[in-house]
A and B are shown apart, each in its own frame.
Chain A
Amino acid sequence: MREARCLITFRTTTGAMAMEAACREAGLPGRLIPVPRSISAGCGLCWAAPVAAERALEELVMARRLDVDGIYERIL
């Protein structure tokens, strides 16, 4: 079933791995998926999580100074 998702993109694969490690440690939901073409054509990983977690994810990004390129909402 398609639903709204919070998507976080990164400048590097290393940034994506840092996000995954931080989310696992903080107990925040989500997983790494290929970046949808509606955000960026090409390749790369993004963190996909329920929209309800967006605020907590943003706070984590700020607190850990994670190397994030952008934060989006998309129906996936």
Chain B
Amino acid sequence: MIYLDNAATTRPKPPEVAEAVVRAMDGFGNSGRGAHAGALSAARTVYSVREKLCALFHGPGPEHVAFTANSTLALNIAISGLLGPEDHVISTDWEHNSVLRPLYRLRERGMGLSFLPADRSGRLDCGALEGLLRPNTRAVVCTHASNLTGDLMDLPAVGTFVRRHGLLWILDASQTAGLFPIDMERWGISAVCFTGHKSLLGPHGTGGLCVGRGVEIRPFAVGGTGVQSYSERQPEAYPTRLEAGTLNGHGLAGLGAALDFLERTGADAVRVRESALARRFYEGVRRLPGVRVYGDFAAPERAPIVTLNLGDRDSGEVSDELAERFGIATRPGAHCAPRLHRALGTTDQGAVRFSWSYFNTEEETDAAIRAVACLAEEERG
């Protein structure tokens, strides 16, 4: 199987990730629940992962990194814990349902919500943000990269807008954490929401949010914390404020190993390799008859994603044929990004997404080009 569905989850992981998870399952007690060697071993590992992620995002301190099961939960925590019915929020047409549905739920309770629109080629004009501003605008919630096209958000432009108007800024880094630099202190990001199992190369069930200095997020889930057991309220101090219940210490041990791999390898080297593979594929398929590629490939940088359709064929059919005939794993359908599909005119057809990781090769990429060429030729009849 040639795995080109890394935007859904990266595969394989560096071998040391699984090794760390196994060691943790054999050796860990429960982080923050007791002072015996096993509990402390877990707590030390969890703390070291907080330190690494804080350094990665340039956060205010390791205590500002709170862990969740994935970015969806992190986004729910940030959105529901910072915003309310009295606010107005600006988001974009690029967003995943993990951003959209929490926002829509707040809109049902009275919150104002505006979207920076994507044009028919999927592009956003950040210059239009000013026109969406209202007196009660409280926040911008946006992704760093479209999970559908791989196009990158113009973060400096968003940052300038956010700072100019004193807004909160929640960034969905699901497709970019570990791959592209994110400097939350410099850019004024209030919360970076991330998942561990995509570009960070860690296990499923790991993720979280790095909260900016002075940003007060109301607790989402409340419960056991290992501290202040007789208090009827969730402790106020970060990260405990946002972490109720046992953490995924085993998974976080794996995420820590993945972060070590990324640091050793170098984010720039990883990004350059993945981008080169995606570009190679794009150049190989873009002129094939009947192939329509989505996204802005004139941009200097983009996430390692190439999404396309073949004529008017059902994207699910194409993806299935790629898997069954050619052994190539891709993702078809709507990609949980309904607004961008509407902008691109692919609501019914969906689209076939190819996405790369550091572990893919030129040979695999060329095989994918040949497979698309073969299908395009057959489609042509």
Residues of chain A at the chain B interface (Cβ within 8 Å): 10-18, 20-21, 32-34, 41-45, 67
Which B22-44 residues have C-beta < 8 A from chain A? 31-35, 40, 43-44
Q: Please, how many angstroms separate the alpha-carbon atoms of A31 and B226 in the complex?
A: 18
Q: Bound state CA distance, A10 and B238, in angstroms?
A: 12
Closest 9 CB pairs of A and B: A13-B32, A42-B229, A17-B47, A11-B237, A44-B227, A12-B240, A14-B63, A34-B35, A12-B237
User: What residue in chain A is nearest B230 (Cβ atoms)?
Assistant: A42
Q: A12-B237, A14-B47, A41-B230 are in contact. List 8 more A-B contacts (CB 8 A).
A: A11-B227, A11-B237, A12-B227, A17-B46, A32-B35, A44-B228, A44-B229, A45-B43
Interface residues of B (CB under 8 A from A): 31-35, 40, 43-44, 46-47, 50, 62-63, 225-230, 235-240
Contacts of A44 in B (CB 8 A): 226-229
Indicate if the CB atoms of B34 and A11 lie closer than 8 Å: no
B235 touches A45 (CB 8 A): no
Cα distance, A45 to B47, chains bound together (Å): 14
| A45: B residues at CB distance < 8 A | 32, 35, 43
Q: Contact check, B43 vs A16: say whether CB atoms are below 8 A apart.
A: yes
How far, in angstroms, from A14 to B50 measured CA to CA in the complex? 9
Q: In the complex the two chains form, what is the Cα distance from A42 to B228 in whole Å? A: 6
- Residue of chain B at shortest CB distance from A33: B35
A-B contact pairs, 23 of them (CB 8 A): A11-B228, A11-B236, A12-B227, A12-B235, A12-B237, A12-B239, A12-B240, A13-B240, A14-B50, A14-B238, A15-B237, A17-B43, A17-B44, A17-B46, A17-B47, A18-B63, A33-B35, A42-B229, A43-B226, A44-B227, A44-B228, A45-B32, A45-B43
Contacts of B238 in A (CB 8 A): 12, 14
Q: Return chain B residues, CB-CB under 8 Å to A12.
A: 63, 225, 227, 235, 237-240
Query: Quick one: which of A11, A18, A33 has the most chain B CB within 10 A?
Result: A11
Within the assembled complex, what's the spacing in Å between the Cα atoms of A12 and B228? 9
B59 to chain A, nearest CB (A): 13
Closest residue of chain B to A16 (Cβ to Cβ) is B43
A66 to B73, CA, bound (A): 28
Residues of A close to B44: CB separation below 8 A = 17, 20
Q: Which residue in chain A gives the minimum CB-CB distance to B47?
A: A17
Look across to chain B and name the residue whose beta carbon is closest to the beta carbon of A20: B44
Among residues of A, the one whose C-beta sits closest to the C-beta of B239 is: A14
A14 to B237, CA, bound (A): 10
With A32-B35, A42-B228, A42-B230 given, is the CB distance from A13 to B43 under 8 Å?
yes
- A14→B32 CA distance, assembly (Å): 8
Report yes or no: A43 in contact with B63, Cβ–Cβ below 8 A.
no
**Residues of the B chain whose Cβ atoms lie less than 8 Å from the Cβ of A16:** 43
From A11, A14, A41, A44, residue with most partner B Cβ within 10 Å: A14
Q: Tell me which of B35, B225, B238 has the highest count of chain A C-beta atoms within 10 A of its own C-beta.
A: B35
Q: Which residues of B contact A42 (CB under 8 A)?
A: 227-230
Would you call A15 and B35 a contact (CB within 8 A)? no
Shortest A16–chain B CB gap in Å is 7
CA distance A34 to B44 in the complex (A): 16
Q: Are the CB atoms of B240 and A21 closer together than 8 Å?
A: no
Q: Contact check, A43 vs B229: say whether CB atoms are below 8 A apart.
A: yes
User: Which chain B residues border A34 with CB–CB below 8 Å?
Assistant: 34-35
A44 to B235, CA, bound (A): 12
What residues of A have a CB within 8 angstroms of the CB of B32 in the complex? 13, 45
Residues of chain A lying within 8 A (CB to CB) of residue B62? 14, 18
Taking a contact as CB atoms under 8 Å apart, the answer to whether B226 and A13 are in contact is yes
* A42 to B33 CA separation, bound complex (whole angstroms): 11
Q: Are B63 and A67 in contact (CB under 8 A)?
A: yes
Q: Which residues of A contact B226 (CB under 8 A)?
A: 13, 43-44
> How long is the Cα–Cα vector from A47 to B175 in the complex, in angstroms?
40
CA A20 to CA B41, docked complex, whole Å: 12
Q: How far is the CA of A69 from the CA of B141 in the complex (A)?
A: 34
Residues of B within 8 A of A11 (CB): 227-228, 235-237, 240
